[in-house]
Amino acid sequence: MENNKNKQDLNKEKQKGQDDKKQEEQNEDKKVILTPEELNDFLEELKEKYNIGEENIKIVKIERKKPPLKILIVSFLLSYLFDFLLIIALNGYLGFTTYNIWKLLLFSVIFSTLELLIREILMRFFPKLMFYSLGTILIPISISALLLAWWITGLEAKDNYALFFIIFLILRLIMNVLLMKRNRDKMFNQIKGGRNGK
């Protein structure tokens, strides 16, 4: 008798687990991604339907605001300058190619331009990819841009060019991580009740 009861309990638990799994799958299918306009319309509808006050709705919107043109230009110029100085410094230290200032400048400009263009295209058309990869998608992009710039300018490789690629990419990655951390912290500080509770 007791054995029968245990079997029934096990069957009930198994059935409940299957029902929970089905419910989860249905919820996954029902997930909807809303545009900002659709979200605002949905919130207005909820406010009217359930008589909800504005103070009872807590939503954090994170929008990628376009910086002013002046800041954008300064940012690009600093990026170009940093890349050029890093290339010159590494060439002086490692001697990865012949020292031709114009070719190195052209190499730097082509590399920086390619990387910035591809990054902006990704941010514009595939922001989720950038967000979910936490920027790691930029590593293969940087490598591709570096190789393409090397090929376009026709730089002559010497002994340490592989070491140059590695050091250059690591230093740029560190710089980008520090800049992203600074920008992320600024964003959290602007959100009320954000990371630091301000």
Query: What per-residue confidence (pLDDT) applies to 197?
Result: 45
b/e burial code for range 25-64 (CB count within 10 A of at least 16 → b): eeeeeeeeeeeeeeeeeeeeeeeeeeeeeeeeeeeeeeee
Most confident of 50-64, 75-89, 134-148: 75-89
Query: What is the reported pTM?
Result: 0.59
C-beta of residue 159 within 8 angstroms of C-beta of residue 151:
no
Measure the CA–CA gap between 72 and 61, rounded to whole angstroms. Answer: 23
pLDDT > 80? residue 73: yes
pLDDT > 60? residue 69: yes
CA dihedral 155, 157, 163, 167 (to 10 degrees): -10
The string of DSSP letters for 73-111 reads HHHHHHHHHHHHHHHHHHHHHH--B---HHHHHHHHHHH
b/e burial code for range 120-143 (CB count within 10 A of at least 16 → b): eebeeeeeeebeeeeeeebeebbe
Comparing 116 with 133, which gets the higher pLDDT? 116
Task: Give the pLDDT mean for 52-77.
Answer: 74
* Residue-averaged pLDDT of the chain: 77
Task: Give the pLDDT mean for 58-72.
Answer: 70
Measure the CA–CA gap between 88 and 170, rounded to whole angstroms. Answer: 16
Measured between alpha carbons, how far is residue 151 from residues 15, 81, 133 in Å? 63, 21, 28
Q: pLDDT of 21-44, one tens digit each?
A: 565 555 555 555 667 777 778 778
CA end-to-end distance (rounded Å), the chain: 62
Helix (H) or strand (E) holding 125: helix 101-125
Confidence of residue 109 (pLDDT cuts 50, 70, 90): very high
